[in-house]
Amino acid sequence: MDDYLWRDKSKTVLALRHILIKEFGDFDRVSIFGGMIRDIARDGKRGFRSDVDLVIDAPADQVKNLAKRLSAKPNMFGGFGHRSTRWEIDFWALETTWAHRNGYIKASSVDDLLQGTFFDWDAAHYDIKSRKLYSQHGYLERIRSRTLGVNLIKTPSAVGNAVRTVRRVLLWDLKASSGLLDFVDQVVADEGLEALVHYEKRKHQRSVCEGFAERSRLLEALSAGNRKVHSLRSSPRQMELPGLIPHARD
């Protein structure tokens, strides 16, 4: 994370660094949450090709004022989306994050949000100013095991997270935990495979869910791992990520 954010000389990363310092540098505590950390842990810097999620430990009105200045648009989950030439950045005030706002966790600091991610692989954050990385206990072990699990089962988008499960498990050559399998099984039972295919086609050029005509075959693929059942593409093994700091407060 340090190397990517502060030492990389590419124009793309220089643009991100500029945004983080110029637009978010006045806040005492801003953390990159979830996806960037997960992707770098899984596949090094080359594995990160997504947007950036930020959580700001500051009053909601201050974050809202920043959103107005940036002309950022409200997103579906209580935060704001800022689109620059090279980057898409979604950001939230701590008190407006979905799990806290809906009473599923009590977040008095960014660290508490580690209990509120849907996927356990997303339960990590990087404090921009202190340049420290925080995670749930056993975070790297779960990534090394190549088993994707569920952290907080409550979600504002059950179909969306079922689709994300299918894509991550099969495209990244993983296995789903028993809890995550139960979640997908229930969503498909309630909504049907067609709902997953429809959602996925709206978001992605290629549908993975469309390759399964039966719920049982989908669950078999998710539990067995990509190479045993469903051949889509090979994906490299994750790189080691030394120096990860377990969930702790300074």
Average pLDDT over residues 211-233: 74
Choice among 8-12, 24-28, 43-47 with the minimum mean pLDDT? 43-47
Q: SS3 for 206?
A: coil
Determine the pLDDT at residue 225.
67
pLDDT band at 221, cuts 50/70/90? very high
Determine contact, residues 144/238, Cβ cutoff 8 Å.
yes
Q: What is the pLDDT of residues 98-115, one digit of tens each?
A: 999 999 999 999 999 999
Rounded alpha-carbon distances, angstroms, from residue 61 to 13, 73, 92, 96, 192: 29, 15, 11, 10, 41
For the cut 70, the answer to whether the pLDDT of residue 165 exceeds it is yes
Choice among 68-72, 122-126, 170-174, 226-230 with the minimum mean pLDDT? 226-230
Determine the pLDDT at residue 69.
95
Q: SS3 for 80?
A: strand
Compute the distance between CA of residue 68 and CA of residue 5 in angstroms, rounded to an integer: 26
Determine contact, residues 96/78, Cβ cutoff 8 Å.
yes
Residue 231 or residue 122, greater confidence: 122
For the cut 60, the answer to whether the pLDDT of residue 81 exceeds it is yes
User: Strands 147-148, 175-176: parallel, antiparallel or unpaired by DSSP?
Assistant: parallel
Determine the pLDDT at residue 45.
83
Dihedral pair phi/psi, residue 131, rounded to 5°: 55, 45
List b or e across 215-234, with b for residues whose CB sees 16 or more CB atoms inside 10 angstroms: eeebbebbbebbeeebebee
Determine contact, residues 163/209, Cβ cutoff 8 Å.
yes
pLDDT band at 237, cuts 50/70/90? very low
